[in-house]
Structure 1
Amino acid sequence: MKSHISNKEKYIFLIVSFSIWFPHFIYLPILSPYIESMGGTYIFIGIVLSSYGLMQFILRLPIGISSDLLKLRKPFIILGILLSATSCFIFALTDSLGWILFARSLAGVSVATWVVFAVLYSSYFTDKEVHRAMSSISFVVVLAQLLGMIFSGYIVNAWGWHAPFWIGGFVGVFGAVFAFFIFEPKESDSRVPLKLKDLLTVMKEPHLLKVSLLSIIAHSIIFTTMFGFIPTYVTSIGLEEKDISLIVFAFMIPHAIATLFMGNVVVLRLGKWKSLKCAFLLTAICTLLTPFVESKIMLGVLQGVNGFALGLLFPLLLGMSIEFITHEKRATAMGVYQALYAIGMFLGPLIAGILNASFGIAAGFFFAGILGLTASGLIVMWGTKKSYKQMGKYPMRL
């Protein structure tokens, strides 16, 4: 640990990290039914949901490169927090579908700064402790997701549709104040700016492209289901808004457990590629079965299993994305990986929204389930006996 970085400074950074994610997840479970209640079609809901990922796909690499060229991290972090709060306040103050699309797009711009968060926080630690640093900051992300999504439905049931947006906005303001006290080590100024030739070299790495494609599929599934149309499905089968929180709870607890602890256990027993294949098969089955379940208990069980399967995928894919990349190019690889998987965050819900509008809400789940089966097929095609036996421990997703 770098001796001049105190625990207090690390805790401040973790609080700020929590404050950029919590505002977006406290309203996410109710976003699609909220838009539907305002007259938004499934296609429009898909566009709104996909705009979040589209902004990240467009801006993550430019933000990372700009940060390296300017040799600055803190201003980007402060800007990201302020945009997060602004997005929530726009949601809270408008009933216009157009402004809702703008607010969700702004949320995507906000979290596109996450690459800078990861780079600055890792600079608080020595090279040997970077994995521990990523685990700590990733736990904060999971905690923000868990707390925000669990309480969302209850908040709406008690205080109305706009309450989560107001709460998220004030949490963002709180985080922005703390962001001014973030410590940026001077040695971060010595980082070598990214070069175009390095970026192109990394982007041609076959292993990185394969893992990124699988991550695109995984993000398409989660942003089509739990972060997309599962809340709408809950209300469409006659359950109440408060029941959304119960389904979210059933998903997020196994998801967090798998992300934090179980991934390494499964990988150690099965190997990386076989673990991926099993997890994709499991999430595909759960997603394909979802439209046939109308019982609250059974839906909760199904989403719990799905949450666990998806929780295995993300940390494993993250570790695999950089395992064959040289140390000096891993930051570039991570930027490429994060930008590419954002494709799934906007393309998945967009296509699902179009399918739902044409064939009913079950169509989106069938689409996501087929994606899971496709990923399993790709893994079987790519995997070799040698790769199945490879084992290792990986950091958690950023």
Structure 2
Amino acid sequence: METTQTRQTSLILWIVVFFWFAQYVYVPYQTTYLLLSHVSSNLVGVIIGAYGISQLFLRLPVGVLADLSSNHRLFIILGSFFAGAASLFRIFLPADIGFLIANILSGIASATWISFMILYMGSFTKGDQTRATSKIIMANNAGMLLGFITSTFLYDSVGMLIICTFSLAAGLIACILSFFLHATKPSIQPKIRVIDLLQVIKDKNLLLYSCLALVQQGVQMSTTMSFTNQVIQDLGATNRVIGFSSIIYMLSAVLFAKLASTKFLQLCTKKQWIYSSFLLLGIYCLLVPQSSSIFIVCFLQVIPGIGTGVLFSLLTSEALQSIPLRKRSTALGFFQAIYASGMTIFPVISGGIYDQLSMKAAFLFLAGTCFTAFFISLVYSCKGEGKSPKKKVS
């Protein structure tokens, strides 16, 4: 018989699946839908980037509040509600303004992702944090995958408005399920001040991995969630093929997140996985705009899947490894606020470069940031090995 803790963690994972389904079911066709609605590519970049703007400003405050109150269930309920409610604007204002407002609301919902992760990871020991992180990110990716599959097979038949209705329904289901989570109570410890919580920002380890996550998430949002779909469409792909491309990406993300929670991860050190993944992402950004085959571009989607499944799991767990348990919501809020800035800035810059120069130039910019992240993480890895020659880097 399942223990109460096991049922709790399973319930959180189901809520995560519905939550991210609501957040991403419309994403594979968002860019092409807006462009066909005569929205400029520059404004499309702003709309996509708006998703990260609200996260940028809210994730750290939400993290601080979560550490102060420990009421993670409330944040999960509110986040799930906003995830569904955002699509009301996509349904009733199906153009640039509606999607802009909706993406801001979706960003507010994603700001509560801190509480999903902290509540779930709190059920595991310190030694199991990487495995726990991989599992909840796998559920995250599974929700996106189901969303992509749904939109791929139904978009041509039902259109964007019905797809957004699915988003609304999934968000409300997640909200209802959230009420069945056990209420969390503050641990009996001396009262902690906000200024003490904010001291985590000085942690060099947290700063480094936050900046690396900024690159990974920014590149992902600009490519697989946006302009890669446009590249495939320009090659003559149908809406269904565009959807299959997104499915390949998300399926690989789910599989690699699952592998990241197994002994497969031990084939290399964590730092080797990190810098190798950035190298692969850079190569991906070089190859996509040069490809003349839809099949090749779809096949290449496996590479950012590795980035989402393995790289992001490791960046998250490594960023928090030196943070005290009581300050982890604040640290995770800072981590997520930093990478949210990448999700905001990168699509805007890429959209601007695309407008002024070309799609190839936009991808070249993204490749350059990946290679920079590769170099930084490689140097950091070598520096760590140099300091601890008798210990295996992990």
Alignment TM-score > 0.5, same fold: yes
Which of residues 234, 240, 248 in structure 1 aligns to 2:246?
A: 248
Cα distance in 1 for partners of 2:163, 2:298 equals 23
State the shift of 1:93 in Å. 1.9
**Which amino acid in the other structure matches residue 365 of structure 1?**
F
State the shift of 1:107 in Å. 0.3
- Structural mapping, 1:124-143, within 5 Å: 124=123, 133-143=132-142
Instruction: Tell me: CA distance 1:327–1:125, structure 2 relative to 1, closer, same or farther (3 Å).
Output: closer
- Structural mapping, 1:229-268, within 5 Å: 229-262=227-260, 268=266
Residue of structure 2 equivalent to 1:147: 146
Cα distance in 2 for partners of 1:273, 1:129 equals 18
User: 2:25 touches 2:151 (CA, 8 Å); kept in 1?
Assistant: yes
State the shift of 1:385 in Å. 5.7
Instruction: Tell me: CA distance 1:281–1:342, structure 2 relative to 1, closer, same or farther (3 Å).
Output: same
Cα distance in 2 for partners of 1:169, 1:244 equals 23
State the shift of 1:298 in Å. 0.9
1:228 paired with 2:210, answer no
**Which amino acid in the other structure matches residue 377 of structure 2?**
I
Which of residues 191, 203, 210 in structure 1 aligns to 2:208?
A: 210
Cα distance in 2 for partners of 1:193, 1:59 equals 23
User: 2:130 touches 2:317 (CA, 8 Å); kept in 1?
Assistant: no
Which of residues 270, 277, 280 in structure 1 aligns to 2:278?
A: 280
Residue of structure 1 equivalent to 2:89: 90
User: 1:17 touches 1:141 (CA, 8 Å); kept in 2?
Assistant: yes
User: 1:124 touches 1:185 (CA, 8 Å); kept in 2?
Assistant: no
State the shift of 1:61 in Å. 1.4
User: 1:80 touches 1:109 (CA, 8 Å); kept in 2?
Assistant: yes
Residue of structure 2 equivalent to 1:197: 195
- Structural mapping, 1:68-87, within 5 Å: 68-87=67-86
3-state SS of paired residue (2:157)? helix
Residue of structure 2 equivalent to 1:312: 310
Which of residues 380, 384, 387 in structure 1 aligns to 2:382?
A: 384
Q: Deviations over 1:17-58 (max 9, x none)?
A: 222211111111111111111111111111111111121111
Instruction: Tell me: CA distance 1:204–1:126, structure 2 relative to 1, closer, same or farther (3 Å).
Output: closer
- Structural mapping, 1:1-398, within 5 Å: 5=4, 7-124=6-123, 133-186=132-185, 188=186, 190=188, 195-262=193-260, 268-384=266-382, 386-387=384-385, 390-392=392-394
Cα distance in 2 for partners of 1:338, 1:103 equals 20
User: 2:70 touches 2:184 (CA, 8 Å); kept in 1?
Assistant: no
State the shift of 1:264 in Å. 6.3
3-state SS of paired residue (1:384)? helix
Higher mean C-alpha deviation, range 329-338 or range 225-234: 329-338
3-state SS of paired residue (2:183)? coil
Higher mean C-alpha deviation, range 350-359 or range 252-261: 252-261
Cα distance in 2 for partners of 1:118, 1:381 equals 30
Specify every segment of 5 or more residues in structure 2 that has no aligned partner in the other structure, as ranges: none
Cα distance in 2 for partners of 1:336, 1:192 equals 23
Q: Deviations over 1:150-191 (max 9, x none)?
A: 3322221121122210111111122222222221144x4647
Instruction: Tell me: CA distance 1:133–1:207, structure 2 relative to 1, closer, same or farther (3 Å).
Output: closer
Cα distance in 1 for partners of 2:307, 2:112 equals 27
Cα distance in 2 for partners of 1:156, 1:263 equals 33
Cα distance in 2 for partners of 1:112, 1:83 equals 10
Q: Deviations over 1:45-102 (max 9, x none)?
A: 1111111112111101112222333442222222111111111121122223112100
Higher mean C-alpha deviation, range 222-231 or range 316-325: 316-325
**Which amino acid in the other structure matches residue 346 of structure 2?**
G
Instruction: Tell me: CA distance 1:127–1:377, structure 2 relative to 1, closer, same or farther (3 Å).
Output: closer
Instruction: Tell me: CA distance 1:331–1:70, structure 2 relative to 1, closer, same or farther (3 Å).
Output: closer
Residue of structure 2 equivalent to 1:395: none
Q: Deviations over 1:101-141 (max 9, x none)?
A: 00111000011111122233344556666555544433221
Cα distance in 2 for partners of 1:67, 1:329 equals 9
Cα distance in 2 for partners of 1:232, 1:191 equals 53
Residue of structure 2 equivalent to 1:396: none
User: 1:154 touches 1:241 (CA, 8 Å); kept in 2?
Assistant: no
Higher mean C-alpha deviation, range 274-283 or range 26-35: 274-283
3-state SS of paired residue (1:108)? helix
User: 1:284 touches 1:372 (CA, 8 Å); kept in 2?
Assistant: yes
What is the TM-score when the length of structure 2 is the normalising length? 0.90
**Which amino acid in the other structure matches residue 319 of structure 2?**
S
Cα distance in 2 for partners of 1:43, 1:26 equals 23
Cα distance in 2 for partners of 1:78, 1:330 equals 20
State the shift of 1:267 in Å. 5.2
**Which amino acid in the other structure matches residue 270 of structure 1?**
C
Instruction: Tell me: CA distance 1:116–1:184, structure 2 relative to 1, closer, same or farther (3 Å).
Output: same
Specify every segment of 5 or more residues in structure 1 that has no aligned partner in the other structure, as ranges: 393-398
Cα distance in 2 for partners of 1:19, 1:143 equals 9
3-state SS of paired residue (1:161)? helix
- Matched positions, count: 390
Q: Deviations over 1:207-254 (max 9, x none)?
A: 221221111111111111112212222212211111112111222222
What is the TM-score when the length of structure 1 is the normalising length? 0.89
